[in-house]
Each structure stands twice: as structure tokens, then as C-alpha cells.
Structure 1
Amino acid sequence: MRFVQDIPHPQFRIGLYAWNGKYIVKIEAGPYEQTYKISEMDLTSAGDVPAMLDDAFLARVAQRFADMDTDWTATGERNDVL
């Protein structure tokens, strides 16, 4: 996997990678990570990716991270681990 660029964001760590004919967007928040794969054929260049990360998309990403945390905490409590 080849690193392409960091995409600055105040809340998340966002990295763009290229691998096997796809752009891979990794979004990290604390211990959680979301990964999105986009075919290079669907975009004209890697420069199109930051434009896709608009406010509406990133708001859903933030909600998904919150849901991931809720799920992780709940399973830890159910299983007396956390």
C-alpha cells in the first residue's frame, strides 16, 4: 500500500493510500478506524477524494464512530471485560 497524502481535519486523522487499483481512505478517531475503498477508475485523480469528504459525509462518520464506541462498551459490559 502506497501512502498518498494526509487530509487535514480537526477531529479525525485521515490518510489517503493507493493500492491494487483503489484509493483507500482511512479515517481514525481514538481506537477506532473506518476504511473506504474507491476504484481509481471512478475518479479522475486522487485530488478528487478530499472533495468527497464533505460536512454531511463526515457528520455520518462521526455518528458511526459514536455508535462503534457504544457497541464496544456494551459488549465489554455484557461480558464483564470493561
Structure 2
Amino acid sequence: MRYIKDLPHPQVKISLYSWNSKYIVKIEAGPYEQTYKIGEFDVTGPDDVESMISESFMASVLARFGEMDRDWSGAMSNDE
């Protein structure tokens, strides 16, 4: 996997990679991670991928991190 660059964001770490004819957007928040894959032929380049990371997309990503945390916290407190 080839690292391309980090994309600035105040709450999470966003990294852009290239691998197997795909761009990979990796978003990390604490112990959680979300990964999105975009075919290299579906966009014009890394700048096009970066432009896809809109405020509404990031709002959904952040909400999903909250869901992930609730799921994991519930699993950790389960006595089964």
C-alpha cells in the first residue's frame, strides 16, 4: 500500500493511500477506523478523492464512530 498524504481534519486522522488500482481513504478516531475504497478509474486522481470528503460525508462518518463506540462499549460490558 502506497501512502499518498494526510487530509486535514480537526477531529479525526484521514489518510489517503493507493493500492491494487484503488484509492483508500482511512479515517481513524481513537481505537476505531473506517476505510473507503474508490477505484482509480472512477476518479481523475487523489484531488478528486479529497473533494469527495464533504462536510455532510464527515458528519455521517463521525456519527458512525459514535455508533461504533456504543456497540463496543456494550460488548465490553456484556457478561456473557
Structure 1 gaps of 5+ residues are none
- Residue 44 of structure 2 is matched in structure 1 by 44
Written as runs of structure 1 = structure 2, the 5 A alignment for 1:3-82 is: 3-79=3-79
Mapped to 2, the partners of 1:75 and 1:12 lie a distance apart of 23
Aligned residues: 80
Unaligned runs of 5+ in 2: none
Q: What TM-score results when the alignment is normalised by the length of structure 1?
A: 0.94
Deviations 1:1-54 (A, max 9, x none): 000011011011000000000000000001100000000010011111111010
SS at match of 2:35: strand
Measure the CA separation in 2 of the matches of 1:79 and 1:39: 42
CA-atom RMSD in angstroms: 0.9
Alignment partners' CA distance in 2, 1:27 and 1:4 = 14
TM-score, with structure 2 as normaliser: 0.96
